[in-house]
Amino acid sequence: MDPLEVHIPFNVFSASAVTCAKNYVSLIEAQLSEAYSHERFDALEQYRNLPNADEADYEVYVRSVERMFDDDFRPILRFTTVIYLYILFETYVSRHVDEIQRLRQSDPKILKKLRDGPPRCGLVKAAEIYFKEHATLAFFGDDQWKQLREIEQVRNCIVHAGGIARDSKPRDLIYDLESRSWNGQAVGLQIDRYNGKDVGSPMNLHQRFSEYCVSLLEHFFRALGAAAEAGFEK
């Protein structure tokens, strides 16, 4: 062995990336809340300084700021956060697969071939097939893989259907995620419904949903790293 070759544990870089993602989510949410407080405070000051201010003035000065954050800024932030977290997953899963394939001296393009099929599938399903059937690393249960596919489908819905679950295929994954619980509460994804039916509005993602996604990725990479280290300890 080359004396200059240093072994870096499998999960060091992915764990660092997930930590950065966790800090990113907290920081952006805090900055958005601070910006909202300042903007609303300024709007209230302007409203209170108006002579004979009425409800219509309140709508113009204060409610417009509230709507801007509720209808635009927060949804955009959380949609882009999901896309960012998916890119993180894609990047580090691919790196882990490349490293394992190098150690196995096997096909470096296996993940792409699995995605191309037949049948064609998403990255999460391809990764599940790879780790179960090729690398023989059993570290995630079937429901945990489904949780990852649900997040992947939210990302696909945002990118390809404007965040409208009803227009996403397969939409059932998003509906299943809406009813999923995490730490005793809902995961923070809500769909506007009328008489129980999806009305076709963009889904609502709360701060809790970003935290749920980060938690799942953190658990995934920690479990993968431990399994890979044990499987390739020599």
**Residue 6 is assigned to a structural domain of this protein:** no
Which pLDDT band holds residue 175 (cuts at 50, 70, 90)? Answer: very high
**Residue 36 is assigned to a structural domain of this protein:** yes
Identity of the amino acid at 129: I
**Residue 3 is assigned to a structural domain of this protein:** no
Q: Which of 11-20, 114-123, 174-183, 218-227 has the lowest mean pLDDT?
A: 11-20
d(CA 100, CA 154): 29
Counted domains in the chain: 1
Residue 53 CB neighbour total at 10 angstroms: 14
Instruction: Summarize pLDDT for 66-95 with one digit per residue, the tens.
Output: 998 888 888 899 999 999 999 999 999 999
φ, ψ at 6 (rounded to 5°): -110, 130
d(CA 143, CA 231): 23
φ, ψ at 49 (rounded to 5°): -85, -5
**Residue 1 is assigned to a structural domain of this protein:** no
**Residue 7 is assigned to a structural domain of this protein:** no
List of E strands, 73-205: 181-182, 185-186, 189-190, 193-194, 197-198, 204-205
pLDDT for the residue numbered 232: 75
pLDDT for the residue numbered 9: 61
Round the average pLDDT of the chain to a whole number and report it: 90
**Residue 46 is assigned to a structural domain of this protein:** yes
d(CA 155, CA 52): 48
DSSP assignment letter at 123: H
Give burial (CB, 10 Å; 0-12/13-18/19+) of 158.
buried
Strand, coil or helix: 5: coil
d(CA 107, CA 114): 11
Instruction: Summarize pLDDT for 195-230 with one digit per residue, the tens.
Output: 999 999 999 999 999 999 999 999 999 999 888 888
64: which residues sit within 8 A by CB, 6+ positions away?
A: 43
Residue 45 CB neighbour total at 10 angstroms: 10
Report yes or no: 173 and 158 within 8 Å, Cβ to Cβ.
no
Residue 212 CB neighbour total at 10 angstroms: 24
What is the value of pTM for the model shown? 0.87
Token pair recorded at residue 143? 């429901």
pLDDT for the residue numbered 5: 46
Token pair recorded at residue 87? 């890119």
**Residue 5 is assigned to a structural domain of this protein:** no
Domain that holds residue 164: 12-229
d(CA 195, CA 204): 18
